[in-house]
């Protein structure tokens, strides 16, 4: 062909700055775009061959090569795919056509909102100019008698075309890297990017450096292995995958050497095409729930991690890979166009996860219980965020009890109906609330353990969704079952007993606002308990969780000091209340009892702890005298 030159049909000289500055979120995207184009070219040729519209040698090995030449500052992407004729180059490369070009540029020229710009035109190939000062294409079409074509552009609006010396079918794109892309001339950096975006592309990809390629040839070494797996596990039928294959795939993709708890294999062909594997990872602590990662693929090409339009937010606590060829992606492949189709995909994924959990509960309940401590933050978060998910899993949400049983809400309420009615007593700290737990166990009462970050909003959600259900922390309410049933009691005497003790403690503690309640508990061992208002404490904890400013007095702690009438120490204080000679001792005992009660549900402040220790020493000294 005769050499020719011309201008790209773009209606504006500002197109390349826009590509570099706004079109893509990350400059390394150029590798994905160019290698994807090579993969598409090979898949198109294979399709034509299968239809009898093209012919290739029977021993053809389809492949893509990425060759780094640090010395000449170039990167080549080579394929043996369909190739292009000179007319196709003019059509697909020279014409960057989109409607309303001037209006578009005028509208977005001074804006940095890449989400609004992406998707208005097809410019995958032109991502090359994000890193290259000059790009050269050498291509030869599969068509008979086609002539090889060379196309060169230095990043302006002008190009040159001439006949190429390429002798084999396919395309070579050569990038002459400029200052903006010099980081990609590093062998390890380039390999890392290839493995990130191209790890599961359907065509073998080989990466080499020029000097290494020459050395391998001289040493007659065996062919290198491709850097990608062309048949990822999600493409196999679930019934043909072994547990070991699932575990190995998990370790390879997520570099996590802890085995996953279990997994869900998604495999759908209608009404949309979606395949993938979602893993439930083993969590070592509550903070790890934020470390999930779900990789989204489009025809085995990596798009991005954790795209919330496709993956419901609560599922991002999991790890997995989802491949959906039907996603309405635009040129960058990283941003979704608004489409109701995406909501259907998201709903399908949510349904499949819920179905898997229900199935596991019904068919392998022992395993489900074994997994619960790890998966409960995920299930609870999903229940809060997605109503449809909650409706499916509400009957399989488990509550671990202080007796180490795992019960559903219905099982807990049925088991404790006589004692609790519709109240669920819970514990947030088994050590701190040990005294209350002992009281419950001694009286055959049940409480559940809710000590995770998610539990506070989760309880509120259950109370909102389930009419009549209320959660009460074990130190927020004194159940009638903990009180002694005293018959024929002397009400006047009890009233005097209570009023005297209330005055003694308020005076000794110098706190006239303190609520004091006297009860006959079934145990003599406990001298006093602190009850905290469930509502005020929950508001305070929610405020801390979401980082709200907590002004003094915003959430007043509604404390009640419950004194046990059956305790000998309380009886001693009452009996000596009239003896002025014992006032110092009584003051110390009242303060000591109060601090002991406080210690049963939360640590003392530093100043209070110092006073507690000093007072303890004084009391011990007084006893030893």
Where are the chain's structural domains? 4-219, 233-363, 397-481, 483-624
**What's the pLDDT at 325?**
82
Q: List Cα–Cα distances, 585 to 311, 427, 582, 613, in angstroms.
A: 65, 34, 5, 15
For residues 537 and 530, give the distance between their C-alpha atoms in angstroms, rounded to a whole number: 13
For residues 174 and 138, give the distance between their C-alpha atoms in angstroms, rounded to a whole number: 8
């200052």: which residue's tokens? 179
**What's the pLDDT at 66?**
97
Regions of the chain where pLDDT drops below 50: 11-12, 22, 97-105, 107-108, 111-122, 221, 287-288, 331-333, 550-556
**What's the pLDDT at 410?**
95
At 79, phi and psi to the nearest 5? -135, 160
Rg (CA), the chain: 36
Topology classification of domain 4-219: Heat Shock Protein 90 (3.30.565)
Evaluated on CA atoms 263, 267, 272, 276, the torsion sign reads positive
Domains 233-363 and 397-481 share a fold: no
**Cβ neighbours around 441 below 10 Å, total:** 13
**What's the pLDDT at 216?**
56
pLDDT tens digits, one per residue of 333-352:
455 555 567 788 888 899 99
Q: Helix, strand, coil shares of the chain as percentages rounded to 5?
A: 45, 20, 35
* Terminal-residue alpha carbon distance, the chain: 115
Does the 483-624 domain belong in CATH 1.20.120.790? yes
At 451, phi and psi to the nearest 5? -120, 15
Number of residues in the chain: 625
Residue environment code for 397-417, b if the CB has 16+ CB neighbours within 10 A, otherwise e: bbbbbbeeebbebeebbeebe
Tokens of 144: 């008979």
Lay out the sheet containing 170-177: strands in order across.
4-7, 158-163, 149-153, 132-140, 170-177, 74-79, 64-69, 205-209
For residues 123 and 101, give the distance between their C-alpha atoms in angstroms, rounded to a whole number: 14
For 233-363, CATH gives 3.30.230.80
521 DSSP 8-state letter: B
For residues 263 and 280, give the distance between their C-alpha atoms in angstroms, rounded to a whole number: 6
For 397-481, CATH gives 3.40.50.11260
Hey, which residues does 68 pair with through a beta bridge?
75, 209
380, containing H or E segment: helix 365-385
Q: Which of 319, 254, 328, 15 is nearest to 156 (CA)?
A: 15
Say if residue 294 is preceded by a cis peptide, omega within 30 of 0: no
pLDDT tens digits, one per residue of 343-396:
888 888 999 999 999 999 999 999 999 999 989 999 999 999 999 999 999 999
Tokens of 204: 């073998």
Contact 129, 136 (CB under 8 A): no
Contact 237, 308 (CB under 8 A): no
Contact 142, 82 (CB under 8 A): yes
Tokens of 537: 């404490």
Q: pTM for the whole thing?
A: 0.80
DSSP annotation string for 262-326: EEEEEEE-SSS-EEEEEEEPPPSSGGGGGG-EEEEEETTEEEEE--TTTS-GGGGGSEEEEE-TT
């Amino acid at each position: 062909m005769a050499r020719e030159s011309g201008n790209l049909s773009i209606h504006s000289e500002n197109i390349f700055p826009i590509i570099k500055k706004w079109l893509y979120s990350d400059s390394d995207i150029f590798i994905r775009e160019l290698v994807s184009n090579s993969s598409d070219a090979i898949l198109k040729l294979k399709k034509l061959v299968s239809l009898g519209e093209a012919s290739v040698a029977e021993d053809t090995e389809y492949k893509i090569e990425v060759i780094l030449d640090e010395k000449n500052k170039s990167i080549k992407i080579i394929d043996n795919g369909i190739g292009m004729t000179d007319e196709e180059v003019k059509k697909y490369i020279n014409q960057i056509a989109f409607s309303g070009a001037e209006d578009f540029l005028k509208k977005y020229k001074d804006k940095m909102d890449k989400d609004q710009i992406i998707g208005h035109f097809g410019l995958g190939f032109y991502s090359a100019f994000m890193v290259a000062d000059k790009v050269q294409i050498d291509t030869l079409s599969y068509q008979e008698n086609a002539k090889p074509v060379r196309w060169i552009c230095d990043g302006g609006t002008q190009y040159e075309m001439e006949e190429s010396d390429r002798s084999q079918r396919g395309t070579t794109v050569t990038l002459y890297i400029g200052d903006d892309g010099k980081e990609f001339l590093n062998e390890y950096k380039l390999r890392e990017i290839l493995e990130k975006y191209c790890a599961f592309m359907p065509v073998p990809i080989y990466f080499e450096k020029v000097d290494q390629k020459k050395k391998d040839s001289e040493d007659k070494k065996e062919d290198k292995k491709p850097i990608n797996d062309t048949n990822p596990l999600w493409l196999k039928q679930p019934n043909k995958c072994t547990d070991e294959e699932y575990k190995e795939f998990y370790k390879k993709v997520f570099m996590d050497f802890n085995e996953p708890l279990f997994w869900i294999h998604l495999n759908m062909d209608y009404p949309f095409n979606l395949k993938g594997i979602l893993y439930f990872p083993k969590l070592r602590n509550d903070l790890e729930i934020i470390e999930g990662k779900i990789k989204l693929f489009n025809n085995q090409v990596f798009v991005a991690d954790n795209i919330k339009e496709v993956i419901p937010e609560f599922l991002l606590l999991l790890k997995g890979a989802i491949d959906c060829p039907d996603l309405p992606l635009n040129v960058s492949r990283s941003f979704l166009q608004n489409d109701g189709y995406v909501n259907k995909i998201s709903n399908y994924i949510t349904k499949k996860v819920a179905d898997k959990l229900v199935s596991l509960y019904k068919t392998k309940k022992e395993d489900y219980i074994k997994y619960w401590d790890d998966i409960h933050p995920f299930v609870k978060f999903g229940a809060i965020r997605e109503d449809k998910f909650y409706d499916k899993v509400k009957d399989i949400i488990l509550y671990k009890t202080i007796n180490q049983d795992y019960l559903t809400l219905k099982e807990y309420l049925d088991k404790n109906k006589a004692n609790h009615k519709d109240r669920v007593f819970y514990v947030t700290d088994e050590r701190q609330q040990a005294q209350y737990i002992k009281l419950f166990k001694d009286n055959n009462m049940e409480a559940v353990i809710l000590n995770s970050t998610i539990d506070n909003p989760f309880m509120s959600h259950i109370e909102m969704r389930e009419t009549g259900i209320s959660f009460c922390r074990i130190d927020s309410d004194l159940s009638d079952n903990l009180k002694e049933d005293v018959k024929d009691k002397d009400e006047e005497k009890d009233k005097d007993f209570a009023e005297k003790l209330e005055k003694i403690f308020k005076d000794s503690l110098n706190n006239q606002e303190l609520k004091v309640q006297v009860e006959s508990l079934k145990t003599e061992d406990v001298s006093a308990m602190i009850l905290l208002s469930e509502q005020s404490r929950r508001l305070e904890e929610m405020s801390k969780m979401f980082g709200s400013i907590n002004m003094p007095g915003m959430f007043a702690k509604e404390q009640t000091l419950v004194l046990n009438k059956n305790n000998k120490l309380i009886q001693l204080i009452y009996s000596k209340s009239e003896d002025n000679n014992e006032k110092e001792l009584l003051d110390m005992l009242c303060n000591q009892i109060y601090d002991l009660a406080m210690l049963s549900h939360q640590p003392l402040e530093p100043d209070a702890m110092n006073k507690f220790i000093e007072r303890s020493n004084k009391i011990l000294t007084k006893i030893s005298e």
